[in-house]
Amino acid sequence: MLKKRPGLATYIFGIFLLAGIGCLSLYKLADITIFPETTAFYSGKGTAIELATCPAFTEFSHPKPLLDVFTLLSWNVYKFQSQGWAQEIQHAAQQNQLILLQEAVIKPSTRAMWKDYQYGWLIAAAFSDKEAVMGAQLLYQGAPLKACVTKYQEPWIVFPKTALAAVFPIADKALLVVNIHGVNFTYDDEDLQRQLDPLLLMVQQHQGPVIFAGDMNTWSQSRSELLDKGLSQLGLKTVSLADDQRSQFWGYPLDHVYYRGLKLEQATVKPTQASDHHPIQARFKLLD
């Protein structure tokens, strides 16, 4: 009797599962702390804070508006493990009012770095390895009105994926910025859909401009279509890239920037050896 060969999805899942096991080997599990869903860290406070789970929000005092023309960078920094990341960050800090990082690391040295660069920040804490907190981080030259977090447990490995959203005053409007690290080690698309659902509901409820960006782990056609359909139905468009050098897996780009209620003035991808992902930079202007 002929045996049925595994399909492409099975091979892809196997590859990612092995990669996930490889990730585990980088850490001693005894040193790992998995944070509760609502845990975040904030530049204005040295200890952990609790944020609401999206689509609900926690409000902040003393918001500060963004400029109505601004540049942002979205980048999976690979936990700052590759050589050259500090130079890339220094360059990014000179050019961008918003920086969205995935696999970001907060520890004493990076806290000091962001203070020197005069950025405020929030990080949705996924886990910590001793003194280093890791997750999706949002850095800003302004201050948010409110923020929220989500956390989604990877089905096959211990490390969860986080998303962070914040609303900033901008002119007479409110800009919603979403930074997401998409769930990765799954056999089908259901987990990615569940991770996106509360964030899409939040975008639907928001009256105003939106940025939705991050490492979405869209490594298949079905994942890519799921993301694009969900956001396009809410009026978001993806940034157009004349020279698309985004990091890919199986021919599908993993990183995205979507927007609504803004004019895209320029968008580029900068190849780098400082991570396994290339950063996307985009310049926007608020629509009248």
pLDDT band for 240, please (50, 70, 90 cuts): confident
**Does residue 2 form part of some domain?**
no
Give me Rg for the CA atoms of the chain. 18
**Does residue 263 form part of some domain?**
yes
Mean pLDDT of 65-83: 93
Say yes or no to pLDDT of 244 above 70. yes
**Does residue 54 form part of some domain?**
yes
Closest CA to 238 of 250, 228, 248, 253: 228
If phi over 0 gives left and psi between -120 and 50 gives alpha, with beta otherwise, what is residue 248?
A: beta
- Kindly report the number of other CB atoms within 10 A of residue 234's CB atom: 15
Closest CA to 41 of 117, 90, 92, 107: 107
**Does residue 1 form part of some domain?**
no
**Domain coverage including residue 123:** 8-286
Whole-number average pLDDT of the chain: 88
**Does residue 202 form part of some domain?**
yes
Which amino acid is located at 197 in the chain? D
How many domains are there within the chain? 1
pLDDT score for 18? 40
CA–CA separation, 148 vs 83, rounded Å?
A: 32
Indicate the range of 2-6, 62-66, 134-138, 274-278 predicted with least confidence.
2-6
By CB neighbour count within 10 A (0-12 exposed, 13-18 middle, 19+ buried), where does 273 fall?
Answer: exposed
**Does residue 3 form part of some domain?**
no
Mean pLDDT of 66-91: 93
Q: Which two structure tokens, joined as six digits, stand for 153?
A: 């447990």
For 251-265, write each residue's pLDDT tens digit.
899 999 999 999 999
Distances (CA, A) of 198 to 39, 164, 180, 191, 258: 17, 12, 12, 12, 17
**Does residue 114 form part of some domain?**
yes
**Does residue 106 form part of some domain?**
yes
Say yes or no to pLDDT of 159 above 70. yes
pLDDT band for 29, please (50, 70, 90 cuts): low
pLDDT band for 5, please (50, 70, 90 cuts): very low
pLDDT score for 91? 92
The CATH number covering residue 254 comes to 3.60.10.10
Q: What is the dihedral of CA 189, 191, 193, 196, to 10 degrees?
A: -140
For 114-126, write each residue's pLDDT tens digit.
999 999 999 999 8
pLDDT band for 10, please (50, 70, 90 cuts): very low
Exposure of 103 in the CB half-sphere (CA atoms within 13 A): 21
Say yes or no to pLDDT of 7 above 80. no
